[in-house]
Amino acid sequence: MTRVATLERAGPGAIAFLANPRYASQLATTHASAVIVAPGDAQRTSLPKLVSPTPYLAYARIAAVLHPPVTPKSGVHPSAVVDPGVTIATGVSVGPHATVAAGAVIGEGASIGAGAAIGRDVRIGARTRIDARVVVYDGCAIGADAIVYAGAVIGADGFGLAEDEGRWLRVPQVGRVIVGDRVEIGANTTIDRGAIDDTVIGDDVKLDNLIQIGHNCVIGDGTAIAGCTGIAGSTRIGKRCRIGGAANISGHLSIADGTTLGGMATVMSSIEKPGIYSGAYPLQPFAEWRRTAVRLRHLDKLAARVAALERALRGREEGER
């Protein structure tokens, strides 16, 4: 085997996998040289097969072997600007036009992509990959074996403002962002530095593209968050949570370990008991949605009428006793 592919597009030399039953019919027509299947699907094909109770996980491990990441050549590109006060371990790569400010420490085997900006006193762990045009602001720290994809911004000021007679006064954001080991931060995701205490991203957290994480948030180990999610400041999300795309999470609340939020879920108060929660209104044809929206506007009046009827009913029942 030389590569991985889908059942539909695989050719000779490729290994494909079946994890979703809706693609089971493609086992009969695939041109893959081998397939990965669950035990219940093993008899559906005569191709050479790897039988696994978790085909997708097996595929992921095989894909990592057949398609290893490209390791950039170590050394500092001539166009990069690296302050003399930077500590750089062995095997580090600093790409074209990258900047690394005084006091930064870059761990062994780490790479800094083209045009990336690493601020003062930043810590980058061993083998961590910082892609092109990433910005890591002063004082922030990223652990070992992390990946930060292009355009991410770590440690910009949070949205800290105080009102002063009709005008907004910016509140200095003096905390940092602390990112753990084996974290992945998607393209153009932003993580604000803490207002006073640090914003903390735990070990093995996986963040998709275009996520906003506000100041002083804490994201627990092993949590995965899909794209376009917005998390307001001072929110604490537990360990091993799964958060669907475009979720909206208000600030100053907590979410229990092991919680799953569906896509577009809106969280306005703390979730103390783990479970699966969904808050998005189901899709409807426009005409139906419009009627539903009109009815929703009358819910307060309807609730008041129901309460009045209940009071009248109780009064009648008490009068009949």
SS3 of residue 73 by DSSP:
coil
Contact 182, 175 (CB under 8 A): no
Distant-in-sequence, close-in-space partners of 159: CB < 8 Å, separation ≥ 6 = 192, 214, 215, 233
Phi, psi of 118 (to 5 degrees): -110, 120
Q: How long is the chain? A: 321
Class of the 3-66 domain? alpha beta
> Tens of pLDDT along 126-169?
999 999 999 999 999 999 999 999 999 999 999 999 999 999 99
Q: What pLDDT score does 206 carry?
A: 98
Which segments of the chain have a pLDDT < 50? none
Q: What pLDDT score does 289 carry?
A: 87
Q: What pLDDT score does 162 carry?
A: 96
Query: Where in the chain are the domains?
Result: 3-66, 75-277, 286-312
Q: What pLDDT score does 166 carry?
A: 93
Residue with tokens 């006073």: 196
Q: What pLDDT score does 318 carry?
A: 78
Contact 267, 284 (CB under 8 A): no
Q: What pLDDT score does 215 carry?
A: 97
Q: What pLDDT score does 279 carry?
A: 83
CA dist 203 and 40 (Å) reads 35
Q: What pLDDT score does 101 carry?
A: 98
Numbers of helices and strands, H then E, in the chain: 3, 36
Q: What pLDDT score does 315 carry?
A: 84
Q: What pLDDT score does 273 carry?
A: 96
Q: 3-state SS of the chain: helix, strand, coil percent to 5? A: 20, 25, 55
Catalytic (active-site) positions: 215
- What is the end-to-end Cα distance of the chain in Å, rounded? 84
Class of the 75-277 domain? mainly beta
CA dist 274 and 214 (Å) reads 23
